Amino acid sequence: MHNVSENFDPILEIRHQTAMTLFCCPEFAQTSFRQMDLEDWQIHAARAREVSGVLAKELERQKYKEQRKTANGDGRSVRKIVGTIDDVLAAIPEEETISASGLCRKLHGTVTRDDTREFVGQLLREGRIFIHKIPNLGTRPSIAYSRNKA
């Protein structure tokens, strides 16, 4: 801001502050700068600041969306854990059983919980692993998995 002096012109100051943002207001472009008085300039300056604020927020939203885009451009966040069905199969013991929750704990950080469930279902359908139901007193049996049928 300028210091107040005898040659300070408030209209010129407002023109200077808003000149860069007025171009985005087509209704103001029709009016000559010399035809406006101080009150008109204040109204136009307020409108220009409002429009530039809206444009700045929209630009921030677009930048945020660009940052979140993945390689395929779908806008979802990038997966950090990518496990395979072989990781799940390697975690299931051949001779012993492992509970479903124990398997998830063992694979934590290697395969996501949802992928673990999906891969276990696929291995069961293929017949590469088997379900063992361990009885519990008064409740449903626990589910465990192993590579052998017995």
The tens digit of pLDDT for each residue in 88-112 reads 999 999 889 999 999 999 998 888 8
Residues near 28 by beta carbon (within 8 Å), at least 6 away in sequence: 22, 44, 47, 48
User: Higher pLDDT residue, 116 or 43?
Assistant: 116
Q: How far apart are CA 59 and CA 63, in angstroms?
A: 6
Q: How far apart are CA 93 and CA 89, in angstroms?
A: 8
pLDDT tens digits, 70-89: 555 555 556 677 889 999 99
> Taking the chain, what is the end-to-end CA distance rounded to the nearest angstrom?
85
pLDDT at 128: 94
Least confidently predicted of 18-22, 83-87, 115-119: 18-22
Q: How far apart are CA 92 and CA 9, in angstroms?
A: 81
Helix/strand/coil for 132? strand
The yes or no reply on domain 85-146 and CATH 1.10.1060.10 is no
DSSP state of 6: T
Taking the model in full, what pTM does it have? Answer: 0.49
Q: What's the whole-number mean pLDDT along residues 31-39?
A: 61
Q: Does the pLDDT of residue 5 top 70, yes or no?
A: no
Domain chopping of the chain, boundaries: 10-68, 85-146
Closest CA to 66 of 82, 58, 81, 80: 58
pLDDT at 102: 93
Give the pLDDT band (50/70/90) at residue 3: very low
DSSP H helical ranges for 23-112 = 26-29, 38-68, 85-91, 100-106
User: Higher pLDDT residue, 47 or 107?
Assistant: 107
pLDDT at 131: 94
Q: How far apart are CA 58 and CA 62, in angstroms?
A: 6
pLDDT at 92: 94
Q: How far apart are CA 116 and CA 88, in angstroms?
A: 7
Q: What's the whole-number mean pLDDT along residues 46-66?
A: 75
Q: Does the pLDDT of residue 133 top 50, yes or no?
A: yes
Q: How far apart are CA 54 and CA 1, in angstroms?
A: 24
